[in-house]
Amino acid sequence: MEFGVWTKGLATLAVDCLVVGVFDEAGLGGEARGVDAACGGRLQRLLGAGDFAGRAGETLLLTDMTGLAASRVLLVGLGTRAQHSRRSWRRAWGSAVTALARTRIASVALALDRPAARELDDYTLGRAVAEVAGASLYRVNDLKTGKKPPPPALKKVLAGPVRKAEAATRGFCHGAAIAAAAAVQRDLANLPANVCTPTYLAEEARALAGRHKSLTARVLDEAAIRREKMGCLLAVSQGSRQPPRFIVLEHRGGKRTQPPVVLVGKGVTFDTGGISLKDPPGMDEMKFDMSGAAAVIACLTLAAELRLPLHVVGLIAAVENMPGGKAVKPGDIATSSAGLTVEILNTDAEGRLILCDALHYARRFRPAAVVDIATLTGACVIALGHHHSGVMGNDQKLVQQLLEAGVRAEDRCWQLPLTEEYAEQLKSNFADFANVGGRDGGAITAATFLAKFTAGLPWAHLDVAGTAYQGGANKGSTGRPTPLLADFLIQRAGR
Ligand code: BES
Ligand code: MN
Ligand code: ZN
């Protein structure tokens, strides 16, 4: 996809289609009025007849336009002017792209009214144009036999009006990279678990490193994982026929001495719950339990693509959680690589078990920041629903940076408290602590468990159980929190 800015009058632009906005109640947007004048008032007549209300998400394609160099106009509802925001702008553009994808339109000039500049400056506009276009054109890589629908024709988008073309262009570049990275996460997470195994994830990481000069991949097999004494990770993995993998994916952009940002991903390629077996309804969705790992691979792709002057390390603990004959049992005690013992009271609380060994591994990098990403708890979904990811950590500055990155990227997270009282719930009679702390505050007790392994590290945890994928009719990976993490990395790189 090609992105650019338009500068001269919309009516004279030789593109296939003009995309203009209509406000609910307030009528034609600013740019739409100029277009209306050029085409002899056709748009105003249509609104007058009550055929288009301008409701958010509404679109109408007009063909055979006269008086314009473009033969088509796509009207897009912006909702009410008072509620116009960065979010509603992105939604409007998203519905426009969805409508365009059903046509043969290959090039558009986009002139949707922007909210206040502080909501959407030229850089943010450029980024939103490219990111939303990419996200809206994403198609699941399905295994349906039969004829595939033709790929969308849309190839070229000109945005405007823009004051600083250079800022918008930088936005296009970042937005396209974010969309591509989110698609990497979505493609991986949407794969069935019989394809996407720990070994498959490791091969993907290796292949990715082969394509980018700044990236290196190291894969620890089961024997190497044993040498690292990752007893908790191995306890989860032992019930499966699929061998575990521990993946170290490294992007070297900044100076050699720069302490890295370490991203740690939960890569449970399927979570049956183990001996503490899950209920059958919806269990297929547990193929998405490697979304954190997929986000890490996505973010390293982005760091390499944008050549970010940063040192980024991705750590992925990849396992399958199965109830095989050798499976770990409730009450079994495992010893983590940090040397702490854990009584595994519930084998379905496996994410924290693999993450505690991965987080301990992060120490050797003397990191500037560690962020783990995990579909960790159903309790987080109960607490926050599907709109915000949960964030907790031991370093408020880092948590704040993630909160702000989420706002900028329209991929928000919300902080839950992580105070010492919750540690009480993890007490065990037989080991240093238990892996579960009861139902109450489940997202927090899970993070409290991880905090035991991150003392002295600047660390934050993203629980994306409610945001990384959707169920229902549109079942599939959302690509979250890759946009949030991408923004976080871009900010850190000072780009
Ligand atoms: N992968 C699940 C968490 C999850 C639940 C993600 C729902 C997405 C949607 C995790 O491994 C898990 O099973 N957690 C348990 C923890 C409990 C046993 C303390 C849970 O949330 O029920
Ligand atoms: Mn589980
Ligand atoms: Zn899980």
**pLDDT by residue (tens digit) across 119-171?**
899 999 999 999 999 999 999 999 999 998 889 999 999 999 999 999 999 99
491 has pLDDT over 90: yes
Residue 352 annotated among the catalytic residues of the structure = yes
Give the model's confidence band at 179: pLDDT under 50 very low, under 70 low, under 90 confident, else very high: very high
Contact 295, 265 (CB under 8 A): yes
- Where residue 411 falls among pLDDT bands split at 50, 70, 90? very high
Q: What is the pLDDT of residues 320-345, one digit of tens each?
A: 999 999 999 999 999 999 999 999 99
Does the predicted TM-score (pTM) go above 0.85? yes
CB of 489 within 6 A of ligand 1: the answer is no
Atom of ligand 1 nearest to the CA of 276: 18
Answer whether residue 424 shows pLDDT above 90: yes
Listed range (6-15, 306-315, 427-436) with the worst mean pLDDT: 6-15
* pLDDT tens, position by position, 26-76: 799 889 999 999 999 999 999 999 999 999 999 999 999 999 999 999 999
Is 178 close to ligand 1, i.e. is its CB under 6 Å away? no
Ligand 1 pocket member 465 (CB < 6 A): yes
Residue whose C-alpha is closest to residue 391's, from 458, 450, 461 = 461
**How does residue 291 score in pLDDT terms, banded at 50, 70 and 90?**
very high
- Measured from the alpha carbon of residue 446, the closest ligand is 1
- Atom of ligand 1 lying closest to residue 439 CA: 19
Ligand 1 atom 22: the closest Cα is on which residue?
Answer: 378
Check residue 118 and give its pLDDT.
Answer: 83
Residue nearest to atom 8 of ligand 1 (CA): 465
Span 225-259, pLDDT tens digits: 999 999 999 999 999 999 999 999 999 998 888 99
pLDDT digits (tens, 9 = 90+) for 2-11: 999 999 889 9
Check pocket membership of 350 for ligand 1, CB cut-off 6 A. Answer: yes
